[in-house]
Chains A and B, each alone.
Chain A
Amino acid sequence: MKEYPWYEVVEDIGILQGDFIESCPIILPPKVVELRKVSTDVIEYDVVVMSQSCDLEQKKLELVLVCPIWPIKEFEEKNPSYKNNKMKESLRREYSPGYHLLNKCKINGFEKDYLVVDFRSVYSVPFNFLVDLAGRRVKRLRLLPPYREHLSQAFARFFMRVGLPVDIPPFK
């Protein structure tokens, strides 16, 4: 059977959907914005690029959508119920639409455990800023097809959900 690797290491200048950017800074807007010096918070996440590759390649975006990623161990520490294999299995089966599980990476120098993508925390990062940041890091990990399309589809599934204010009562 043909092998379909999950990841590759790239040095491209251009960024694509599925690229991993480590320690991506997100500037949180201050409470009041005035023409003066203000102090504001910056948070950093390891992120994966969610915007479509074609839009990125053709520079049709000023802002790039990114989602935080977490090693599964850290995710388990935050919610111990995920230490249970059954809960991890529910992640793998995509029963939890807010999260998406990515496979381990065994590439030398880029080893990673299973990763959880958090779809609830979507950030927009200026395109030029992200390209500069990626360029400074030289090498980065990239999620390969069809896994990145699978990631994109999972995000779409999460985003397109509709909660009904008055649902049909359950049949009991």
Chain B
Amino acid sequence: MYQQTMQEVTCKDYPIQYSSNISSRFEEIDKNETLDSVLSIWIREKQLRRPFFYRTLLSLFEVDISSVRPYFEIKRGTSLVEEAVGEKPIPRYISEEDILLEMIEHDFVVRMPPKKRYTIELEVKNIIKGEPRIAEPEEF
């Protein structure tokens, strides 16, 4: 029967699974191996007393549960999806604040009266048809 020894264990800190039934060849195992064995048993017993230790091992593994618990989320960057599901209706009235926040160019008209207004009398002396005035271009 094959007997597991310390030399076959490659994973560091992994408890060696020794059989509780110590064979007659146990005497062949050197002193260090005996100590390892004792230590292994002690650790295993300790683990059994503290099952919480096993739960912490879960963090060491990558667990993909997407097949049993799929996760869906609406992408925030694509407003069309939001609009399609009716989460955020488009407001009919856009306030001035919205305009500012959305950086929309607006075209409000403020009709300012002149600073001063008065009537004058003037005499029209001549009425002539305007002529084109040609501005000479710069010399090249």
Q: List 20 A-B contacts (CB under 8 A).
A: A33-B124, A35-B126, A38-B123, A39-B119, A39-B122, A42-B118, A42-B120, A43-B116, A43-B117, A61-B135, A68-B112, A74-B112, A79-B108, A87-B100, A90-B96, A90-B100, A95-B103, A98-B107, A171-B80, A172-B90
Q: How far is the CB of A83 from chain B (nearest CB, A)?
A: 12
Give 1 or 0 for each of B96-114: 1 = CB within 8 Å of chain A CB. 1101100111111111101
- B102 nearest in chain A by CB position: A95
Which residues in B have some Cβ–Cβ distance to A below 8 Å?
80, 83, 90, 96-97, 99-100, 103-112, 114-127, 133, 135
Which residues in A have some Cβ–Cβ distance to B below 8 Å?
23, 26-27, 33-46, 55, 60-62, 68, 70, 74-75, 78-79, 81-82, 84, 86-87, 89-90, 93, 95-99, 118, 120-121, 171-172
Task: Provide the bound-state CA to CA distance between A81 and B106, in Å.
Answer: 13
Contacts of B104 in A (CB 8 A): 95
Task: Provide the bound-state CA to CA distance between A40 and B122, in Å.
Answer: 7
Task: Provide the bound-state CA to CA distance between A38 and B124, in Å.
Answer: 7
Most buried by A among B111, B114, B133: B114
Contacts of B114 in A (CB 8 A): 26, 43-45, 68
Asked, given contacts A86-B100, A95-B99, whether A37 binds B127 with beta carbons under 8 Å apart, the answer is no
Asked, given contacts A39-B121, A62-B133, A89-B100, whether A44 binds B110 with beta carbons under 8 Å apart, the answer is no
Task: Provide the bound-state CA to CA distance between A27 and B135, in Å.
Answer: 26
